[in-house]
Amino acid sequence: MRTLEGHLAGISTIAWSPDSNTIASGSDDKAIRLWHRATGKPYPVPLLGHHNYVYSLAFSPKGNMLVSGSYDEAVFLWDLRARKQMRSLPAHSDPVGGVDFIRDGTLVCSCSTDGLIRVWDTATGQCLRTIVHEDNAPVTTVRFSPNGRYILAFTLDSCIRLWDYVSGTCKKTYQGHVNTKYSIGGAFGVGGTEGFIASGSEDGEILFWDVRSKEVLQRARGHDGVVVWVDTCPGRSGTLVSGGLDGTVRIWVNVEDEDVDKVKTEQENGVAAFDRDDGDVDMHEVKVENGASDDDTPGDEMSIDGRRTPEREAEQPVNGGLNLDEMEE
């Protein structure tokens, strides 16, 4: 296990590059740093430009660009090779909660506590669509669906909405979890052939919804306290990882019909993220405590070929004295 040191203040977000060789981290010191995965060394020059805390990051599918959302209410697009800001989008009138790239890299979406979700053209930097719900609830996280047709938005009214961004209509609302205070995140996952949505909850549970029927498929308990972030493994294994305010990162594997949490690990800062390729470097430190499924070695679970599936991600629950996950301003 390796500790990446360099930021001067708490880290709010990390993201994996598509080739898994680079990790980007966004911090309260207003900088975004890039790290070699293999060596754990940072690239010498951080990405500077934001005027306030960097709160959300996403790599483009090719790995040549990075999008960042910040408390300075702007969304920046970065050219990663030159480590230069390509574009600054005057995105919102409140801190930007989440950003995401679509699977072909042509669109970027951003969301904010002002209740808006905006869709941007990567090439021209123009806003192509704004989505707003009548209730205007603060939006804390956005995710494009794996096929890029929909946007999943997490709002502080304990709802997760699936938007058709072309027509601007809400197609599904997923409910059952508690989310009123923290910037909780989740992800699309694939179990077998069906898609599911997984999200954390402030009551310490992880919830799984069926995408079509909106039914809660399962509630998984394991964390003490708020589950801040859940991310799924690319591919069809249904494996996921969660980070909670109790300072633990838990890895969940799909065991036949019963999902049981098997793995428990304690990491100092509780950052949960899925590696895209092959988790050998970061994930082999995680101990599997359950011997039931003997062939399910962690190495196998992490080896992923789903190069096209939008994965990546991470979020950090607690750091130092600053608790940025509270989106209340």
Partner 1 sequence: MNLSLVDPFVLAQDYPESTTGSLRSGHATCVRFNRKGDLLAAGRVDGTVVIFDVETNGVARKLKDHTRQVQSLSWSRDGRYLLTSCQDWKCNIWDLQDGSILRTVRFEAPVYIAELHPWNHLKFVVSLFEDQPLLVDVSEPEAVRLNLPSAPKRTKYDEDEASRNRQNAQDAKQTTTVAIFTASGDHVLSGTNKGWLNIIEVATRTTIYSTKICTGVVIYLRLTSSGRDVVVNAQDRIIRTIQLPNLSAADLDPDTIDIEVEHKFQDVVNRLSWNHVAFSSTGEYVTASTYNNHDIYIWERNHGSLVKILEGPKEEHGVVEWHPHRPLIAACGLETGRIHVWSIVPQQRWSALAPDFAEVEENVEYIEREDEFDIHPQEEIHKRRLDLEDEDIDVLTIEPVKGEMVEEENAFRMPVQLDLNDSESEEEFIAVGRGEMRRKSPMEGRDYMLDSEVMGSTDEFSKKPKARSRKR
Name the residues that contact partner 1, by CB under 8 A. Answer: 17, 19, 22, 34, 43-44, 60, 62-65, 79-84, 86, 102-107, 118-119, 121-124, 126-132, 145-150, 162, 164-166, 168, 170-173, 188, 190, 195, 211-212, 214, 308
User: Closer to partner 1 at the Cβ: 106 or 218?
Assistant: 106
From the CB of 57, what's the least distance to partner 1, in Å? 15
From the CB of 287, what's the least distance to partner 1, in Å? 32
From the CB of 250, what's the least distance to partner 1, in Å? 25
Q: Is the dihedral of CA 159, 94, 329, 30 positive or negative?
A: positive
User: Closer to partner 1 at the Cβ: 187 or 245?
Assistant: 187
From the CB of 111, what's the least distance to partner 1, in Å? 14
**Paired tokens of 1:** 């296990």
User: Closer to partner 1 at the Cβ: 9 or 132?
Assistant: 132
How far is the CA of 105 from the CAs of 66, 144, 192, 277, 313, in angstroms? Answer: 10, 11, 26, 19, 16
Tokens 């052939």 belong to residue: 193
Q: What single letter denotes the amino acid at residue 17?
A: S
User: Closer to partner 1 at the Cβ: 103 or 284?
Assistant: 103
User: Closer to partner 1 at the Cβ: 44 or 321?
Assistant: 44
HSE-up of 199 (CA within 13 Å, CB side)?
Answer: 30
What are the backbone dihedrals phi and psi of residue 15, each rounded to the nearest 5 degrees, phi first?
-145, 145
From the CB of 84, what's the least distance to partner 1, in Å? 7
From the CB of 54, what's the least distance to partner 1, in Å? 18
H or E element at residue 26: strand 22-27
User: Closer to partner 1 at the Cβ: 23 or 249?
Assistant: 23
Q: Is the dihedral of CA 189, 61, 59, 14 positive or negative?
A: positive
How far is the CA of 5 from the CAs of 1, 27, 273, in angstroms? Answer: 13, 12, 17
